[in-house]
Structure 1
Amino acid sequence: MATEKKPEIMTCDFEIRGDMPKEAFQLFAIAQAQILGLRGYITQVSGDLYRGTLQGEGKVIEAFKQLIMTAAEFVAALKEFIIKNLKAIQEYTYKTFEIKSN
């Protein structure tokens, strides 16, 4: 009897550049991450730069990126979404997805 392999947990850092309204964008990002079951955080580093960490299945991280990139209310303001340092981890280090203040 074959045992089903659990999907790997991935972690990555991300950067989003764009002139989006801070509160609305962060709440949107949290809602999407929670719907997808991602963990990590987002924080605004400067006026047009957000950084954070995502943890979840690789395909779910990619789905999050696509949701953010195609969100009608932010698509015109969004300049780029970069995923860096993608790697597998043994277990989650975040309990939820949250906003961190800097």
Structure 2
Amino acid sequence: MMSCDFEIQGKLPPEAFELFAAAQALAMGLRGYISQVAEDTWKGVLQGEGKVIEAFKKFIMAAAEYVEAIREFVIKNLKDIEAYTYKTFEVQKK
């Protein structure tokens, strides 16, 4: 199992994007959260298998090609973990 921080930047409708990202993460079996930290920036944590984290990034970026709204998706601090620290994937409000 892996854990990482992530950051997404882009001009997106906040509520719709958060629900979309959370639904995809849950469908892929990922845990963690996403939170909007600025008008065009979201940060969060992903926990799950490394290949699933990478698949989530690819999926979000593929969707971005259609809406041309996501400028960047950065994964940071990728590390092995012994156990999950999140029960599910959720949208956290500021």
Q: Provide TM-score, normalisation by structure 2.
A: 0.96
Equivalent residues of 2:5, 2:78 under 8 A apart = yes
**Number of residue pairs matched?**
94
State the Cα RMSD in Å: 1.3
Shift of 1:73: 7.7
Q: Which runs of 5+ in 1 are unaligned?
A: 1-8
Change (3 A) 1:24 1:74: farther
Q: Name the larger-Rg structure.
A: 1
Does residue 1:27 correspond to 2:14, yes or no?
A: no
Change (3 A) 1:53 1:37: same
Aligned partner of 2:3 in structure 1 is 11
Structure number with the higher helix fraction is 2
Query: Any runs of at least 4 consecutive aligned residues in structure 1 with deviations exceeding 2 A, and if so which?
Result: 72-75
Which residue type is aligned with residue 48 of structure 1?
A: D
Shift of 1:82: 0.1
Equivalent residues of 1:20, 1:74 under 8 A apart = no
